[in-house]
Amino acid sequence: MEQFYEAQDFLMNTTISQKIHGNLSGEIYDRAIIELQRLEDLLSFYRETSEVSLLNRRAGKPAVKISEELLFILQQAKKYAQLSENAFCVSLAPLVQLWRRSGAAQELPSPDDISHSLTLCENDNLELNEEDHTARLRTGGAMIDLGGIGKGFSADRCCDIYKDMGAVSAFINLGGNVKTIGTRPDGKPWVIGIQHPDKPRGACYGTILCSDRSAVTSGGYERYQEVNGTKYQHIIDGRTGCPADSGLKSVTVLSESSTQADALSTAAFVLGLQKGLELVCDADCIGAVFFTCAQEVYLTKGVTPYFRLLEKLNCYEVSQ
Ligand code: AMP
Ligand code: MG
């Protein structure tokens, strides 16, 4: 029977919007939400019983058995850490926590605290054994936080479920992490607005056509700590241990895989325009849109046919 579902929920510390259409079998809406709850239980840094917390508590001790899903996410995370020379880094949690605490304490972390935390964040510190399905954080105090990749993985999982249930058209947005199936129910392509980094929520500087694909934006404007009147945004550079300061306001990546788009957008945001463009162009994604602190927009060739600029901004296509 032809059905159309549209819903909004609050999970994973963000608003989740879903639109699902097709000859659907079973309770499609519930299945995606139940799946997201299950993934949050598995992957959350803040849930004591999650696999991530278990792994973090066992840092410095023998390896722990982990699920196939966590193994896959950690493999992907390690791959993008390697490709970005640790600009993207899931074992960055000690630094993420350090900077979060500085907001509450109204005091910046000391250089000593930063360099101590940095030693815990090296990519090699996370060991994976694919045959045994185990993971280990080598040094006590090391911790992983999947905030930079987990929503992408969750969006991919939800779209797999929509397809299993017979959806021909679907859209899910997990707080700026969008993935779609097919076209909109009226046959028109899905058009995703890209948030203007300096304007109120909902004000977009451009749009991106996104059918059977994922569009993910990383930006410093989304979340930040304010210490003595200065804003320190939530994405940390794994090479310096300080909030990323690469001359970018946001990066949007278009890819068939939301896991990839999520990791790449965070990595490219940290790397800055030049190295970020190289990373995206070498990866097997469609492309990316960069918004710089100088209010300029840079597009990779692959994304140009899908992107539309809505504001009067200098916009350049980059051939790599
Ligand atoms: P995103 O919104 O996908 O760019 O992810 C940002 C979140 O990922 C932050 O709130 C942190 O929890 C975590 N994070 C911060 N810096 C990094 C980084 N360099 N690599 C991976 N995850 C990070
Ligand atoms: Mg990300």
* Cβ–ligand 1 contact at 177 (below 6 Å): no
Q: What is the pLDDT of residue 106?
A: 85
Is the pLDDT score of 285 beyond 70? yes
Residue nearest to atom 11 of ligand 1 (CA): 147
* Cβ–ligand 1 contact at 287 (below 6 Å): no
How far, in Å, is the centroid of ligand 2 from the Cα of 23?
Answer: 33
Task: For residue 223, give the ligand 1 atom closest to its CA.
Answer: 10
| Residues less than 5 Å from ion ligand 2, measured at CB | 148, 262, 266
Q: What is the pLDDT of residue 264?
A: 98
pTM (two decimals): 0.95
Q: What is the pLDDT of residue 211?
A: 94
Task: For residue 266, give the ligand 1 atom closest to its CA.
Answer: 4
Q: What is the pLDDT of residue 89?
A: 93
Whole-number mean pLDDT of the chain?
93
* Cβ–ligand 1 contact at 218 (below 6 Å): yes
Are 24 and 1 in contact, with CB atoms under 8 Å apart?
Answer: yes
Q: What is the pLDDT of residue 48?
A: 95
Is the pLDDT score of 221 beyond 90? no
Per DSSP bridges, beta strands 296-300 and 314-318 are parallel
36 vs 124: which has the higher pLDDT: 36
Q: What is the pLDDT of residue 230?
A: 80
Among 106-115, 269-278, 294-303, the least confident range: 106-115
* Cβ–ligand 1 contact at 90 (below 6 Å): yes
Residue 69's pLDDT band (cuts 50, 70, 90): very high
* Cβ–ligand 1 contact at 253 (below 6 Å): no
Q: What is the pLDDT of residue 224?
A: 75
Mean pLDDT of 182-209: 95
Distance CA 148, CA 249 (A): 16
Residue 320's pLDDT band (cuts 50, 70, 90): low
How far, in Å, is the centroid of ligand 1 from the Cα of 150?
Answer: 10
Task: For residue 151, give the ligand 1 atom closest to its CA.
Answer: 3
What six digits make up the tokens of 37? 């709850």
Residue 28's pLDDT band (cuts 50, 70, 90): low
Mean pLDDT of 49-65: 97
* Cβ–ligand 1 contact at 262 (below 6 Å): yes
* Cβ–ligand 1 contact at 88 (below 6 Å): yes
How far, in Å, is the centroid of ligand 2 from the Cα of 131?
Answer: 27
Q: Determine the residue of 13, 92, 120 to mutate for testing ligand 1's pocket, defined as the one with the most ligand atoms within 8 A of the Cβ atom.
A: 92
Distance CA 213, CA 215 (A): 7
Are 246 and 221 in contact, with CB atoms under 8 Å apart?
Answer: no
Among 161-165, 256-260, 316-320, the least confident range: 316-320
* Cβ–ligand 1 contact at 235 (below 6 Å): yes
Task: Give the whole-number percent of the chain exceeding pLDDT 70.
Answer: 98
Task: For residue 263, give the ligand 1 atom closest to its CA.
Answer: 3
Is the pLDDT score of 210 beyond 70? yes
How far, in Å, is the centroid of ligand 2 from the Cα of 262?
Answer: 4
Mean pLDDT of 176-180: 96
Task: For residue 219, give the ligand 1 atom closest to its CA.
Answer: 4
DSSP string covering the chain = -EEEEEEEEEETTEEEEEEEEEE--S-HHHHHHHHHHHHHHHH-SS-TTSHHHHHHHTTTSS-EE--HHHHHHHHHHHHHHHHTTTSS-GGGHHHHHHHHHHHHHTSPPPHHHHHHHHHTT-GGGEEEETTTTEEEESSTT----GGGTHHHHHHHHHHHHHHHTTEEEEEEEESSEEEEESS-TTSPPPEEEEE-TTS-TT-EEEEEE-SSSEEEEEETTSSEEEETTEEEES-B-TTTSSB--SSEEEEEEEES-HHHHHHHHHHHHHH-HHHHHHHHHHTTSSEEEEEETTSEEEEEGGGGGGEEE-S--EEEEE--
Burial (CB count <10 Å: 0-12, 13-18, 19+), residue 202: exposed
